[in-house]
Amino acid sequence: MNLPRPSIAASPYFTPLITVLLLAVLLGAGGAAYPGFLSLQVMFNLLIDNAFLLVIAVGMSFVILSGGIDLSVGSVLALTTMICAYMLQTWHWNPLLVIAVALAVGTVFGAAMGAMIHYFKLQPFIVTLAGMFLARGLCYLISINSITIEDSFFVALSQTQLPIGDCFISPGALIALVTLAGAIYVAHCTPFGRAIYAIGGNEQSALMMGLRVARTKVLIYAFSGFCAALAGVLFSFYMLSGYGLHAQGTELDAIAAVVIGGTLLSGGYGYVAGALTGVLVLGSIQTLIAFDGTLSSWWTKIVIGGLLFIFCVVQRLMSLRGTKK
């Protein structure tokens, strides 16, 4: 019996491949138009400048794969920078203890939202929107002004350059890549990762299969909160300041990166590794505009918006093809 061969568009690798192809086109166009664009240091700079966004996108990937959304991550990042800056500059705590406290706050914040979403049967959009306002408001309870970080440990990490040949990479970028590698392993090689995909595919079916849905959902949002807090620590290294206005709109950039990376907004389908390609696409667009020098930075948002429309249409067409089968 001859079975019909599946089309390329129906392959689970189709959207990630399109993203990789898009990234190659952007880099190729930049290399052709601007000398030095494809230098190794410029490629490393894409990671250095977007390390915090990559970490947030990793946490957001888990949330979207489960069929949820987390709008609080940008505010949690800002809150983390304020906690770090205030504790370091006012209380003069040990920087490692400050980092541990900041990560714990983000994790507990995310877990609390996950518990509310599951046990009270609330929409993730509403709960995390409330979390976004709450975290941003807490920033201004700490201080309405920017707090400069002068701690020697943070300053040293901010200025550290890890050599790779004639180029360098920052500790923040290395931490982001390690976080990504760990998340890929968890998502694709552990029972917890399989449970995330099952819940995103159909939560009721996951319950009937005996999966620990409540525990998994709380851990998913706890992990997203942890990633947002870790991104806040990296952003503190990058900016050496805490400010309530830091990272405004970053949650939308993270969602865009995850969707462009090939993860379905409806959940249950996608690859955590797609967060990296999605972030690199956004970073490449920003770098192209910076190299051009004549375009407004707002063109970044315009291009990203257009890409999102295209990827959402592609995802919808793929889901319709799956329904017909």
Residue 95 has pLDDT above 80, yes or no: yes
Report the pLDDT value the prediction gives residue 7, as an integer from 0 to 100: 52
Segments of 32-170 assigned E as strands? 147-148, 162-164, 167-169
- Interval 243-255 mean pLDDT: 95
Interatomic CA distance for residues 85 and 91, integer angstroms: 10
Interatomic CA distance for residues 265 and 218, integer angstroms: 19
Report the pLDDT value the prediction gives residue 10, as an integer from 0 to 100: 54
Q: Give the residue among 206, 196, 183 at the shortest CA–CA distance from 264.
A: 196
**pLDDT higher for 321 or 279?**
279
Neighbours of 62 (CB within 10 A): 28
Residue 8 has pLDDT above 80, yes or no: no
- Output the pTM of the full model: 0.94
Q: Which stretch of DSSP H or E encloses residue 15? A: helix 14-33
**pLDDT higher for 319 or 8?**
319
Q: Give the residue among 101, 91, 228, 77 at the shortest CA–CA distance from 149.
A: 91
Residue 9 has pLDDT above 60, yes or no: no
| Phi–psi pair at 246, nearest 5 degrees | -60, 145
Report the pLDDT value the prediction gives residue 320, as an integer from 0 to 100: 67
Report the pLDDT value the prediction gives residue 1, as an integer from 0 to 100: 46
**pLDDT higher for 298 or 306?**
306
Residue 278 has pLDDT above 50, yes or no: yes
In this structure, of 13-22, 30-39, 45-54, 68-77, the range with the lowest mean pLDDT score is 13-22
| Phi–psi pair at 87, nearest 5 degrees | -65, -35
Are 316 and 294 in contact, with CB atoms under 8 Å apart?
Answer: no
pLDDT 10s digits, 256-266: 999 999 898 88
Report the pLDDT value the prediction gives residue 155, as an integer from 0 to 100: 97
Q: Give the residue among 124, 123, 107, 120 at the shortest CA–CA distance from 71.
A: 124
Residue 309 has pLDDT above 90, yes or no: no
Interatomic CA distance for residues 214 and 193, integer angstroms: 14
In this structure, of 98-102, 201-205, 249-253, 317-321, the range with the lowest mean pLDDT score is 317-321
Angle, vertex CA 171, rays to CA 227 and CA 157, nearest 5 = 105
